[in-house]
Amino acid sequence: MKEVVVRIPPSPTGNLHIGTARTALFNFLFAKQNNGKVILRMEDTDKERSTKEFEEDIKIGLEWLSITHDEFYRQSERDEIYKKHLQDLINSGNAYISKETEGDRDEVIRFKNPNKEIKFNDLARGEISFDTTELGNFVIAKSIEEPLYHLAVVVDDFLMGITHVIRGEDGISNTPRQILIQEALGAPRPIYVHLPLILGPDRSKLSKRHGAKGVMEYKKEGYLPEAFLNFLAFLGWNPGGENEIFTLDELTESFDIEKIQKGGAIYNEEKLRWFNREHLKKMTLEEKKEYIKPILPQLDEVHERALPIIFERIETFGDLAEAFKEGEFSYLNDEIEYDARLLLWKKDPDVSTTSKRLENVKEILEKETWPMNAVVARESVWKYAEEEGKGEILWPLRVALSGKERSPDPFVLIEILGKDISMKRIGDALTKLKGND
């Protein structure tokens, strides 16, 4: 079998977006599954809109997703190659210089259309046919020095030995023009695979109004590259079965190009968040620590003990940053602030009774062996809580330890905070209550 060669051909006229990333992934999976080659080709013939900044964003985004390549090219550096093949087309009578006004120029180069029916087999969609007559003699260059997209793509695919063109279905309309140019150049026809468009929840073409954004924005928001890749793979493809959580290696092994769906793929950020949460669960504690260093550069023992609780409550590392910013985990701070009245249980808001109960809890806990986990803490206090009333005991204990109405249960807090902090906070609560007698 001939070596599989695919190309990832982004245009550096904007940042790497989700559609380009999905197409890049499918090309990468297919090539790696077949021990083939991946060519990254910057299609920057639009020199006015193409920038190095966009090119760099695309390369960094693909690197973040571990979508690697074997060769790299820029079309802007291949003008002499296109010029030669353009001249060959003119010499053979397959193209001609047309004297006409086109912007600020008075001639363009057109392809001489043989006006024939074109048929090709698409691995995802079956046989597709076009009557090329309606295309007319289409423009392939502004001048002998300025090739346009269709010519450059065909020449590059030919010279780079591209065997499979895997791209979005919006590229279907380009295929008949490109096949005509291939035939005129004597180039072999690659196998085509057109992927379904990515649609918003309203089934219109995906756009920013649906929440879509540049790939690197997802990184900034705290998504894992493994989760984002997993999400991309399921936009228009499904391996069958119930399992949806795949690593890149597992995707490479499972990918089947013939299982690409014909219908549009629906973008759903809630599903992306679900993928991210599932991949978070698979991370080791040490891996999570590396990710949270920018958020919690000083990871003390209290924060380390709190990590299981923290990760239960987030779906992305962006959620974590936001939660700390909003004070959701302020009970991990050295000092906590709250109003003494918050300590009073709504069904029994008596200060002296609350103080007595907290004092008794403090005495019970001080007699226990520390460090203490949540199970032992619960067992030590539970009998007293059942005697006095669970709310009457657990509410002021929770507030004393966290300073908040909503937090992990007080026994978990005891395990996280440890003896010194827990006892100090209960003591501080008692002092607050005495000041409100």
The CATH number given to whatever domain includes residue 277 is 1.10.1160.10
Rounded to whole angstroms, the Cα distance separating 261 from 237 reads: 6
Q: Residue 4: how many CB atoms within 10 A of its CB?
A: 20
Q: Is 71 inside any structural domain?
A: no
Q: So what's the pLDDT on residue 380?
A: 96
Q: Is 143 inside any structural domain?
A: no
Same domain, 299 and 274: no
Same domain, 225 and 255: yes
The residue behind tokens 């007559």 is 133
Q: Is 384 inside any structural domain?
A: yes
Rounded to whole angstroms, the Cα distance separating 306 from 222 reads: 19
Q: Is 295 inside any structural domain?
A: yes
Q: What is the total count of domains within the chain?
A: 3
The residue behind tokens 């590392």 is 317
Same domain, 374 and 392: yes
> What is the residue range of 427's domain?
340-434
Q: So what's the pLDDT on residue 196?
A: 92
Q: What confidence tens digit (pLDDT) does each residue in 175-188 have?
A: 999 999 999 999 99
Q: Is 119 inside any structural domain?
A: no
What residues have CB less than 8 Å from 265, skipping those under 6 apart? 22, 196, 197, 198, 199, 234, 235, 236
Q: Which of 249, 266, 282 is the last residue of a domain?
A: 282
Beta partners for residue 108, in sequence order: 98
Residues of the chain with pLDDT under 70: 1, 102, 207-211, 437
Query: What CATH number is attached to the domain comprising 364?
Result: 1.10.10.350
Pairing of strands 139-143, 146-147: antiparallel
For helices 301-312 and 285-292, the axis angle rounded to 10 degrees is: 100
Q: How far is CA 431 from CA 265, 352, 359, 381, in A?
A: 60, 12, 11, 21
Q: Is 201 inside any structural domain?
A: no
Q: Is 300 inside any structural domain?
A: yes
Total-model pTM: 0.89
Q: So what's the pLDDT on residue 208?
A: 64
Q: So what's the pLDDT on residue 271?
A: 95
Same domain, 294 and 344: no
Same domain, 277 and 232: yes
Phi, psi dihedrals of residue 44, rounded to the nearest 5°:
-110, 40
Same domain, 347 and 414: yes
Q: Is 21 inside any structural domain?
A: no
